[in-house]
Structures are given as structure tokens and as C-alpha cells.
């Protein structure tokens, strides 16, 4: 909640008795009417709601930090209790905010009242305290079950059981399709025990959303983008239509090359790619299989993982590189408490939730990351991403609490990734990880590596919430949870399960963000925004070459404009923030197409050559 599990800031808060008293006093003093509170009452309500959200939010943040770093029954209960108090207060404040729906108010007050209702995202709870407690217990339990999940290979000792971190490495590096299949099936068992809890979670969360005037939880989530829910759905599909041709070309190329490796009996020449062969447990990013699909005859000019290992870079050093990029743009260094309180490596003596996340524990300066860092190129980029959250949090920390969030949740995810697009060979040479930047002869290989992560992610980033929105609305019923999941994965991703699946399975639960109840469309939007940000910043830097070769590292003028956008937080509708940095007011995926244009031409040439 207070942390950014992949990005959402949930802000919290002071004394309901104070708020209640203010409302009563306002009723007596407003225009002689007890039914029509006016501007002064609304403003006082907002101020006191901000204070309450800050107080309770910080309590939840600390409780959840402990629960994620020390997974025990006691810490889960403490976290559940703090979360329940926060959810109850937030829901009560949101419901009180509806008293002002028909009152003419200044834009600033009206916006904060609207955001107060949306502060219940991602988890509005029913007003009934028993239902709140049940909902909190379910969500805390599902997240803990995921965090403790293991796969114990048959015939091996209990000491050989693998957690998701170790399974991630296995999927990335192993090339035995049978072993990959077993690992995939083994991990997806973690979802089975969540199915009934998830069904009940949907019922309770929908009830909370309806109390706020929304049709269901999905409608509430989609209302978080300064447009009507249906309009947002159409906008997402418009963006997907822009990038789908690029993804289709990439998918066809990868399918053909995997067929050469594993045989067409394993990878059919047409249709879906088996999910376990794409180098990632969820087939959401494919960069780990680059060696299998690299352009024929090409030799990678460098491997970032190898460079980091050769220089004996440790976890702390990885984070220092990330911080250095932001400070090169003119941002202040991270506070000393960040280095003292963050979790950088997995402890040997206890279970922790290893999923990388950025935290703003006190909604001020106590920012942290929690991550079981491995010395890999992938984690090097992930660190830049997580630190993007932290620098964003610090930039807007002086705003009212209801504005201490990103312009929309896609912005929070895009900030670090936009910076990571500047992790180019020339940048690696500048910081000493490469002796010199390679020439353009490997550009296709470089872009293919990038596309295997960035472009391959797009349909997965879209479909997770497509599934949830249908579940929340009732279009997908509990009887078809798993079938609907795989229907969407086939439609958007073009991937298939490596084993027969049934409704005894609950494969969505094997993806952290489902039991963790973290909205996922933000990641899809972030993949659009990061390229739009990158293109705009490169233009501002005066760069005129190929977009994929641009790095803004060290450009303080660009950093100043970047920081100006971050400091706006959520005080204005997101098109205003977008315009501040880019000069544009509409999301536009054409920057992705521009970035990968040389690769698209090459992929099309490969398709013509094999047809």
C-alpha cells in the first residue's frame, strides 16, 4: 500500500473524529443550511483528510515493510490490522467526500475530493467492519502465500526446493525443454490454493467499489485516468493497435527460431509459442532467449551481465550506478537512510517478498527499495526503474498528500524506464563498464535484445487487467477463471500453456500482481510513455541521430525540465504533466515504432526470405 509494488503510491492518513467534527460545524455554518456544505467546509474537510491519510498511511507503510521483510504469522497479522484501519478510514473519508458532489467548488478542492475517492484504489472495502477485516485477511494471505511459494523437484531433497527467484534464473538459463516444463508447472501450483480466496476477494472488493458509486472494481480502476472508464478502455486498444504490427513481426521471427532449436513438434511453425520456452516464467519478457534467436552470424559486442561480473560489481554498486544516472541530471543524491534501510540482497535466515519494489515509507524522505539483487544486466535495468519511483516520490513530497502520486500510475512506472533507455553502449563506455562504444554494425542485434523485453511485454502488460476487468464485471465467472486467462494470452500474446490446464488451476495467481492486487495496465502505459519521454528528452538535448543510440546522461538542462514534470505530482490532469515534458497531450506509441524502425525492416526481410 504505502510501497510501490511496481509502482502505485497509496497515500494515507489523521483523526476521523476531527473530520466528523469539522463536518458538523460546517453543517451549522453553511449558508444557513445543514444539507449543503460550502467551499470553506469542503476545504477544511480536504485539509484534515490529507492529515489523516498521512498519519495512517505511514503506519501501514512501516507495518507492510516489516511484513514483506519478515514473513511470519505475527507480522502478517500486524500488517493486516494496520491495513484494515487504513482501508476503513479511507473508505469512510471517500464516502464523506460524496457530500460535496453537487457543490460548486474551486478546481483544486474538487480535484482533491475526486482523488480522495480514487485513493481507495486498488482496494476499496465495504463499510461493514467484518467485511473489511475479511478482505484484509484474504489479501494479506494471498500475498504471503505467493512470497512463500516453492517448487520442489520430484526425486530431489527438500534442500533443492526453488523459490521464484531461483526459478527465474532457471527459466532464464536452462535450455532443456522438459526441465523448463516441469519448473513452469511446479511454480504454477502456487495459484491453486488461492482460487477460492480470490473469488471471495472479488465479491468484497466489488461491494466496496459499488458503495463509492462505481459498477465494479475494474470500473473504479479505469476511472483513475482523468477520463471515463469506457473511454480509457478504448484508448488502451488504440495504443495496442499502433504497436501490434511490430509485435506480430517479432513473434513470428522468434517462433521460427525456437522451432529451429527445439523442433517443430515442440514449437509449431504457426500459432502459439509454448510459454515455458521464452526465458521467463510468465513469457512477459523474452530477453533471456536472445542467444537462441540472435541474428544469424552475429556476435554480440558485449554482455552487460558479463561486464558487471568482470568488474566485481556487488549489489550496492549496482544501485550506486542507478543513483549516479539521476544525479547526473541534477537530482539530489539519495538520503543516507536509503542506504541504511533498503533491502538489496536476499537474507539467508528468513523468507522475504523478493519482488522488486520501491517504498516511500514516510511520504517524505524515507525512500527505500526492496529487492533481492542479482548481478545481471536485467537487474541493472530494474534498479534504474525502481529508483525512478524513489526520485519521483522525493520530487512531489512537498505537495498535499492527495497529490503525492504520479500524474497517472503509468507515469510512475515510466520514469525509471525512460532513464534506462539511455543505458546505451555509449553510456556504458562513459561510466567505464565498456572500453569503447561499438559501431553501428550490431544495431540490429542490440534492438532485437531490447525488443525481446520491451515489445514482447506489451500484450502481457495489456491482458492481465483485461482478465481482471472481465472478472470484476462478471463477464468472466469463477467457473471459467483459468480458461479466460489462457484465451486472453492466446489472443494478445500468442502463447500457450506447456501442459493441459483446467479450472482446478488458477494460473493468474502465479503472477505476483494478481494475489498482490496491483493494477497492471500501468505497465502497458509505462512502456508507451517511456519511449515518448525518451524521444522528447533526446530532442530537447539536441540529439539528431537514431533514437536508440541517444543517451541523456549528464544533461542537466533536460534534467531540469524532467524534474519540473515530476514535481507536479498529481496536482494536475496527466495531459498537463505530459505536455510539460514532451509538448504533447496525447499518449502516442509512434515513438516505439521510431525507436525500433531498423529492427522492423530487418524482421520483415527475414519473413520474406523464409516465405
The residues that are catalytic are 355-356, 385-386, 389, 413, 513, 523
Beta strands 495-496 and 357-360: pairing type? unpaired
Half-sphere exposure of 359 (CA within 13 A, CB side): 29
C-alpha distances (whole Å) from 138 to each of 133, 141, 275, 446 are 9, 5, 29, 44
Phi and psi at residue 346, to the nearest 5° = -70, 125
The crossing angle, in degrees rounded to 10, of helices 73-97 and 16-29 is: 10
Say if CB 107 and CB 479 are below 8 A apart.
no
- Kindly give, in sequence order, each residue whose CB lies less than 8 Å from that of residue 560, ignoring residues fewer than 6 positions away: 330
Residue with cell 524513489: 390
In the 8-state DSSP scheme, what is residue 498? S
Q: Which of 149, 177, 143 is nearest to 161 (CA)?
A: 149
User: In the 3-class helix/strand/coil scheme, how is 353-406 assigned residue by residue?
Assistant: CCCCEEEECCCCCCEEEECCCCCCHHHHHHHHHHHHHHHHHHHCCCCCHHHCCC
Strand, helix or coil at 267?
A: coil
Strand, helix or coil at 354?
A: coil
Beta strands 357-360 and 367-370: pairing type? antiparallel
Q: Could you give the CA distance from residue 83 to residue 508 in angstroms, rounded to a whole number? A: 24
Q: Could you give the CA distance from residue 64 to residue 132 in angstroms, rounded to a whole number? A: 17
Beta strands 273-274 and 495-496: pairing type? parallel
Cα radius of gyration (the chain): 24
Phi and psi at residue 584, to the nearest 5° = -120, 155
Which residues face 368 on adjacent strands?
359
Q: Could you give the CA distance from residue 486 to residue 469 in angstroms, rounded to a whole number? A: 15
Amino acid at each position: 500500500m504505502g510501497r510501490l509494488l511496481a509502482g502505485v503510491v497509496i497515500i494515507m492518513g489523521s483523526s476521523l473524529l476531527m473530520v466528523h467534527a469539522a463536518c458538523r460545524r460546517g453543517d451549522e455554518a453553511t449558508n444557513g443550511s445543514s444539507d449543503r456544505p460550502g467551499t470553506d467546509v469542503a476545504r477544511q474537510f480536504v485539509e484534515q483528510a490529507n492529515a489523516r491519510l498521512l498519519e495512517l498511511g505511514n503506519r501501514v507503510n512501516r507495518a507492510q515493510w516489516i511484513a514483506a521483510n519478515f514473513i511470519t504469522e505475527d507480522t502478517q497479522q500486524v500488517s493486516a490490522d494496520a491495513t484494515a484501519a487504513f482501508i476503513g478510514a479511507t473508505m469512510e473519508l471517500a464516502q464523506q467526500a460524496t457530500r460535496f458532489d453537487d457543490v460548486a467548488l474551486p478546481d483544486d478542492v474538487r480535484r482533491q475530493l475526486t482523488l480522495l475517492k480514487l485513493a481507495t484504489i486498488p482496494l476499496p472495502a465495504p463499510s461493514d467492519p467484518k467485511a473489511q477485516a475479511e478482505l484484509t485477511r484474504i489479501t494479506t494471505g494471498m500475498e504471503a502465500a505467493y512470497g512463500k511459494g516453492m517448487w520442489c523437484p520430484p526425486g530431489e531433497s527438500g534442500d533443492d526446493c526453488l523459490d521464484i527467484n531461483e526459478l527465474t534464473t532457471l527459466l532464464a538459463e536452462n535450455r532443456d525443454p522438459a526441465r523448463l516444463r516441469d519448473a513452469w508447472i511446479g511454480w504454477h501450483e502456487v495459484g491453486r490454493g488461492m482460487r477460492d480466496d480470490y473469488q471471495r476477494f472479488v465479491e468484497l472488493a466489488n461491494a466496496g467499489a459499488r458503495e463509492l458509486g462505481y459498477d465494479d472494481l475494474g470500473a473504479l480502476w479505469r476511472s483513475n485516468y482523468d477520463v471515463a472508464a469506457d473511454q480509457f478502455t478504448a484508448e488502451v486498444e488504440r495504443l495496442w493497435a499502433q504497436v501490434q504490427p511490430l509485435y506480430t513481426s517479432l513473434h513470428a521471427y522468434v517462433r521460427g527460431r525456437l522451432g529451429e532449436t527445439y523442433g517443430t513438434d515442440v514449437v509449431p511453425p504457426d500459432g502459439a509459442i509454448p510459454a515455458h520456452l521464452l526465458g521467463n516464467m510468465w513469457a512477459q519478457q523474452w530477453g533471456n532467449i536472445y542467444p537462441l534467436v540472435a541474428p544469424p552470424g552475429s556476435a554480440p559486442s558485449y554482455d552487460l551481465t558479463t561486464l558487471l561480473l568482470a568488474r566485481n560489481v556487488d549489489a550496492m554498486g549496482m544501485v550506486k550506478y542507478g543513483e549516479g544516472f539521476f544525479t547526473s541530471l541534477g537530482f539530489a543524491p539519495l538520503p543516507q537512510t536509503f542506504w541504511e534501510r533498503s533491502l538489496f540482497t536476499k537474507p539467508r535466515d528468513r523468507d522475504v517478498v523478493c519482488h522488486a519494489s520501491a517504498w516511500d515509507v514516510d511520504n517524505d524522505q524515507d525512500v527505500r527499495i526492496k529487492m533481492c539483487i542479482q548481478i545481471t544486466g536485467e537487474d541493472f535495468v530494474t534498479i534504474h526503474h525502481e529508483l525512478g519511483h524513489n526520485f519521483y516520490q522525493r520530487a512531489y513530497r512537498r505537495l498535499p498528500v492527495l497529490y503525492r502520486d504520479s500524474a497517472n500510475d503509468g507515469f510512475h512506472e515510466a520514469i525509471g524506464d525512460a532513464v534506462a533507455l539511455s543505458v546505451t553502449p555509449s553510456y556504458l563506455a562513459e561510466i567505464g563498464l565498456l572500453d569503447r562504444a561499438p559501431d553501428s554494425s550490431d544495431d540490429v542485434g542490440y534492438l532485437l535484445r531490447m525488443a525481446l523485453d520491451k515489445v514482447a511485454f506489451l500484450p502481457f502488460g495489456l491482458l492481465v487487467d483485461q482478465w481482471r476487468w472481465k472478472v470484476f464485471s462478471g463477464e468472466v465467472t469463477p467457473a471459467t477463471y483459468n480458461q479466460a486467462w489462457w484465451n486472453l494470452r492466446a489472443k494478445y500474446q500468442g502463447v500457450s500453456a506447456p501442459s493441459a490446464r483446467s479450472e482446478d488451476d488458477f494460473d493468474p495467481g502465479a503472477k505476483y500482481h494478481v494475489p498482490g492486487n496491483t493494477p497492471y495496465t500501468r505497465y502497458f502505459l509505462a512502456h508507451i510513455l517511456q519511449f515518448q519521454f525518451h524521444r522528447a528528452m533526446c530532442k530537447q538535448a539536441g540529439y539528431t541521430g537514431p533514437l536508440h543510440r541517444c543517451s541523456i546522461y549528464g544533461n542537466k538542462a533536460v534534467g531540469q525540465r524532467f524534474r519540473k514534470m515530476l514535481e507536479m505530482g498529481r496536482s494536475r490532469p496527466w495531459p498537463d504533466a505530459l505536455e510539460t515534458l514532451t509538448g504533447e497531450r496525447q499518449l502516442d506509441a509512434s515513438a516505439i515504432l521510431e525507436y525500433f524502425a531498423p529492427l522492423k525492416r530487418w524482421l520483415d526481410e527475414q519473413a520474406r526470405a523464409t516465405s
